[in-house]
Amino acid sequence: MMDLDLSAGVGELTAWLVDLESVSGDEEPLADSIESVLHQLPHLTVRRDGNAIVARTEFGRAQRVALAGHIDTVPIVGNVPSAVRDGVLFGCGSSDMKAGVAVQLKLAATVTEPVMDVTYVFYDCEEVESDRNGLGRLSRTMPDRLAADFAILLEPTGGVVEGGCQGTMKARIGVRGKRAHSARSWLGRNAIHDASEVLDVLRAYQPRQPDVDGLAYREGLNAVGIAGGVAGNVIPDECVVTVNFRFAPDMSAEQAANHVRNVFGRWEVTVVDVAGGARPGLRRPAAESFVTAMGGTPRAKLGWTDVARFDSLGIPAVNYGPGDPTQAHTRGEYVRIAEIEDCAVKMAAWLKG
Amino acid sequence: MMDLDLSAGVGELTAWLVDLESVSGDEEPLADSIESVLHQLPHLTVRRDGNAIVARTEFGRAQRVALAGHIDTVPIVGNVPSAVRDGVLFGCGSSDMKAGVAVQLKLAATVTEPVMDVTYVFYDCEEVESDRNGLGRLSRTMPDRLAADFAILLEPTGGVVEGGCQGTMKARIGVRGKRAHSARSWLGRNAIHDASEVLDVLRAYQPRQPDVDGLAYREGLNAVGIAGGVAGNVIPDECVVTVNFRFAPDMSAEQAANHVRNVFGRWEVTVVDVAGGARPGLRRPAAESFVTAMGGTPRAKLGWTDVARFDSLGIPAVNYGPGDPTQAHTRGEYVRIAEIEDCAVKMAAWLKG
């Protein structure tokens, strides 16, 4: 395999990245290549942590933007090496998100005098458990080097700016009863029957649709699990409803937990996990100019994404990158080369001011 | 160990039976002993099937009564051999139901000219899975030899006649929805939320309390299980409520299944299992004279018991025997010897007319 050559076009760069396999946990060869080419760029200072790399300009500009992308992919399913047909590049990770990484690398190589400082973040293990996530690790090991006024994750968004993300919280609502033999049910209290009151609260719940930084979010509070029962001849003394609360980024994780505790105040509430959302920050100058430069109407991101890791550092963030997000994780994953080029051209123009 | 000697008192007989261990599946030595002593009684014809024995008088009387008892016990927990203290016999199976078996054996030996024909049934594997039950096996292999106008199971009832038993049925009520990502819950339909309507039906259900053959039964329809959920971020497309219907013996198993299908007509109903109840038949001549002879006020049996196996052969049945039923299956299981004697005396007097 040839060395990584940043003078190639972004389509060729993407193909090169796809061909160097980097399934989560096996990113080292790709991280080595990326670190090596970045070290050759005199306008960047480069730091590495495991298989994550942070490269920054240090011009002392008034604003700093972070451009971030994960370098790992889901497991390969016969879709490496890459193939090009009619301007479409096929291969594992082509859309999610080696096309975005190619854009990052191209910008790093060519935008040598940006109007704002730029932090390029390449990280590992995004496609696996949250506690292995490379961006999460960087936020703990080198938060100062991630600091920025605004962050862009180059995940595939089909060319639309997706702002921030909603938070997510899981909690268990425990309903207690009293056991009895089912032939004498009146001696007990049926916790499953009583759980219908929890479900009634869920059915009657009116979720908010707040506007945050100009984007319309849409919350939801839903049962995602229910379990109860001891044996076929026993009136059950416990039923647990697991609920998932998706909350807009104007609410903190703590506020969300308190809200759920209030909604189900009559029962035992156990918060299982909670991850705060991310404000889109689209009214900050860097973000406003980015949205204008990219064109189109930004939309709110409803699912939780890694932009929330930037938010936990106080950095508003958006998703924007080449590729169709619905192609991610499929055997036939692809990206249109023209889309990668369009993204690279627009972002370079924006960074050059 | 001495041979089984039916000239002994019922207390001694019970102790002998307790001391010959017969945990379910290991009843052969005890079945051998019982078969052997019954063969020595000229007024009985004896048949054996596995570890079950059926011994009958054949006097051509107008009425026939079956006296039945299981000879197996739950596992021993340091409570064999038996011990007697202050007129109380302790030991595994003393109450459930070797005292009853002792009464059967004593009656078989001493009531040589009963006013009605008598069928003595000793069977195995009552304390384990239903499909191993010896009485169930006999009802398939020799239904003619079980035929009777009335049956008495000598299970411990604390000296009260317990009539018939209620049936029991288990069914699954399936609620369907439509999956969606929980961040966009409005694109799906939450089957757990919709299951609250099933629970509402259960909460509103008014169970019957019918009088059957003079005994007051009390039905019940209850959730005994609920399960739903795909993953923490998915609106679930299925929720299953498992219900248990306990129905009075004026309703057949088929009628019970149809009733549950009607009650939950809006959903998918799958009958998991159903076992019909047993009418007490207390208005039949043999039963009426039995209740009068034993004294006390008979009560309805609400839980399902082996009397239902007689009912499936068209034979009304009751439970009546020495011992406190709440002692069954405990380490400290016991039976008062005076109770065994009282039962044997009363039943002998009744059979002699």
B322-348: pLDDT as tens digits? 998 777 788 889 999 999 999 999 999
Task: For B98-127, write each residue's pLDDT tens digit.
Answer: 999 999 999 999 999 999 999 999 999 998
Mean pLDDT value across residues B58-82 = 95
What gap in Å lies between CA A63 and CA A287, rounded to an integer?
10
pLDDT at B81 over 80: yes
What CA–CA distance (Å, rounded) separates A293 from A347?
A: 8
The Cα B231–Cα B158 span in angstroms is 51
Give the contacts of A152 (CB within 8 A, at least 6 positions apart): A65, A66, A67, A68, A290, A317, A318, A319, A320
Asked if A76 has any chain B CB less than 8 Å from its own CB, the reply is no
- Residue B314, CA distances (Å) to A39, B61, B72, B251, B276 in order: 92, 19, 25, 14, 12
Is the pLDDT score of A75 beyond 80?
Answer: yes
| A329: enclosing H helix or E strand | none
**Active-site residue flag, B126:** yes
State what percent of residues in chain B have pLDDT above 90.
79
Q: Tell me: pLDDT of B136 over 90.
A: yes
Please say if A72 is a catalytic residue: yes
Stated as kind and residue range, the H or E segment containing B234 is: strand B234-235
pLDDT of residue B347: 97
| Contact by Cβ (8 Å): B242, B172 | yes
Most confident among B203-207, B304-308, B315-319 (mean pLDDT): B203-207
The rounded distance, in Å, linking the Cα atoms of B253 and B277 is 8
**Range from A36-50, A180-194, A303-317, B290-304 that averages highest in pLDDT:** A36-50
B123-142 residues touching A, CB cutoff 8 A: none
Summary count for chain A: helices (H), strands (E): 11, 19
**Quick check: A184 contacting B, CB < 8 Å?**
yes
Task: Kindly report the nearest CA distance between residue A252 and chain B, in angstroms.
Answer: 17
Q: What are the helix (H) ranges across chain A?
A: 10-19, 28-39, 99-110, 134-141, 143-146, 191-194, 196-204, 253-263, 285-294, 307-311, 337-352
Q: Provide the percentage of residues in chain A whose pLDDT is more than 70.
A: 100
Among A173, A196, A217, the strongest candidate for a mutation testing the B interface, having the largest count of B CBs within 10 A, is A196
Residue B246 has pLDDT above 80, yes or no: yes
Most B CBs within 10 Å: which of A175, A218, A222, A260, as the mutation test of the B interface? A222
| Overall average pLDDT of the A41-66 stretch | 97
User: Hey, are the CB atoms on A246 and B303 less than 8 Å from each other?
Assistant: no
A23 interfacial to chain B (CB closer than 8 Å): no
The answer to whether A329 faces chain B, any CB pair under 8 Å, is no
Task: Read off the pLDDT of residues A172-216 as tens digits, 9 standing for 90 and up.
Answer: 999 999 998 888 899 899 999 999 999 999 999 999 999 998 899
Give the pLDDT score at B177.
95
| Total beta-carbon pairs less than 8 A apart between chain A and chain B | 142
Q: Which of A185, A241, A304 sits opposite B222 (nearest CB)?
A: A185
Average pLDDT value over all residues in chain B: 94
At A220, the pLDDT band (50, 70, 90 cuts) reads very high
- Does the beta-carbon distance from A196 to B192 stay under 8 Å? no
pLDDT tens-digit map of B143-194: 999 999 999 999 999 889 998 899 999 999 999 999 988 888 998 999 999 9
pLDDT attached to residue A242:
98
Q: How does DSSP classify residue B149?
A: S
Which residues of chain B have a CB within 8 Å of the CB of A193?
Answer: 199, 202-203, 222-223
pLDDT at A328: 75
pLDDT greater than 90 at residue A231: no
In angstroms, rounded to a whole number, what is the distance separating the alpha carbons of residues A145 and A329?
31
Question: Contact A218/B193, CB-based, under 8 Å?
Answer: no
Residue A171's pLDDT band (boundaries 50, 70, 90)? very high
Task: Kindly state the average pLDDT of the residues B292-296.
Answer: 90
Per annotation, catalytic residue among B27, B96, B124, B126: B126
Q: CA angle A16-A22-A23, nearest 5°? A: 140
Among residues A27, A124, A126, A311, which one is catalytic? A126
Distance CA B121, CA B126 (A): 13
Q: Which of B130, B224, B238 is the best mutation test for A, with the most CBs of A within 10 A?
A: B224
Q: Closest residue of A to B305, CA-based?
A: A183
Amino acid identity of residue A312, one-letter, is: S
A192/B226 touch (CB, cutoff 8 Å), yes or no:
yes
**Average pLDDT, integer, range B1-21:** 95
Alpha-carbon span B312 to A73, nearest angstrom: 64
Residue A120's pLDDT is what? 98
- Among chain A residues, the shortest Cα distance to B187 is held by A220
> Choosing among A199, A200, A272, A273, which should be mutated to test the B contact, i.e. which has the most B CBs within 10 A?
A199
Confidence of residue A327 (pLDDT cuts 50, 70, 90): confident
Per-window interface: A 43-72 vs B, CB < 8 A: none
Contact A302 B203 (CB under 8 A): no
B239 part of contact set with chain A, CB < 8 Å: yes
Nearest to B222 among A170, A227, A235 (CB): A235
For residues B56 and A305, which has the higher predicted lDDT (pLDDT)? B56
CB of B265 within 8 Å of any CB in chain A?
A: no
The answer to whether A232 faces chain B, any CB pair under 8 Å, is yes
Q: Is A224 on the interface with B (CB under 8 A)?
A: yes
Rounded to a whole number of angstroms, the distance between the first and last alpha carbons of chain B is 36
Q: A302: which chain B residues are within 8 Å (Cβ-Cβ)?
A: 183-184
Q: In the prediction, which pLDDT does B282 show?
A: 85
- pLDDT band of residue B301 (cuts 50, 70, 90) is confident
List of residues 6+ apart from B138 with CB closer than 8 A: B49, B52, B54, B121, B123, B145, B146
* One-letter amino acid for residue B101 of the chain: V
pLDDT value of position B130: 81
The closest CB to that of B182, out of A186, A220, A226, belongs to A220
pLDDT at A189: 96
Q: Is the pLDDT of residue A1 over 90?
A: no
CB contact under 8 A, B185 and A222: yes
Report the residue from A186, A203, A231 with minimal CB separation from B193. Answer: A203
Nearest CB partner across the interface for A199, out of B185, B193, B235? B193
Ramachandran bin of B295, using left for φ above 0, alpha for ψ from -120 to 50, beta for the remaining angles:
left
Cβ of A181 within 8 Å of Cβ of B232? The answer is: no
C-alpha angle B247/B250/B255, rounded to 5°?
Answer: 65
End-to-end Cα spacing for chain A? 36
Q: How far is B152 from chain A (nearest CA, A)?
A: 21
Are B234 and A225 within 8 A, CB to CB?
no
CB contact (8 A) between residue A236 and residue B225 = yes
What are B317's two structure tokens? 């049945």
Does the pLDDT of residue B133 top 80, yes or no?
yes
Q: Does B204 touch chain A (CB under 8 A)?
A: no
Q: Which residue is associated with the tokens 């998918």?
A: B268
Q: What is the pLDDT of residue B38?
A: 98
CA distance A112 to chain B (A): 40
Kindly report whether the peptide bond that precedes residue B249 is cis, defined as omega within 30 degrees of 0. Answer: no
Instruction: Give the span between the Cα atoms of B27 and B4, in whole angstroms.
Output: 15
Q: In the predicted model, what is the mean pLDDT of residues A222-249?
A: 94
Chain B residues whose CB is inside 8 A of the A185 CB are: 220, 222, 246
Q: Closest chain B residue to A224 measured between Cα atoms?
A: B229
CA distance B43 to chain A (A): 41
Q: In this complex, which of A181, A192, A302 lies closest to B199 when CB atoms are compared? A: A192
Which carries the bigger pLDDT value, residue B181 or residue B38? B38
Specify the pLDDT at position B172. Answer: 98
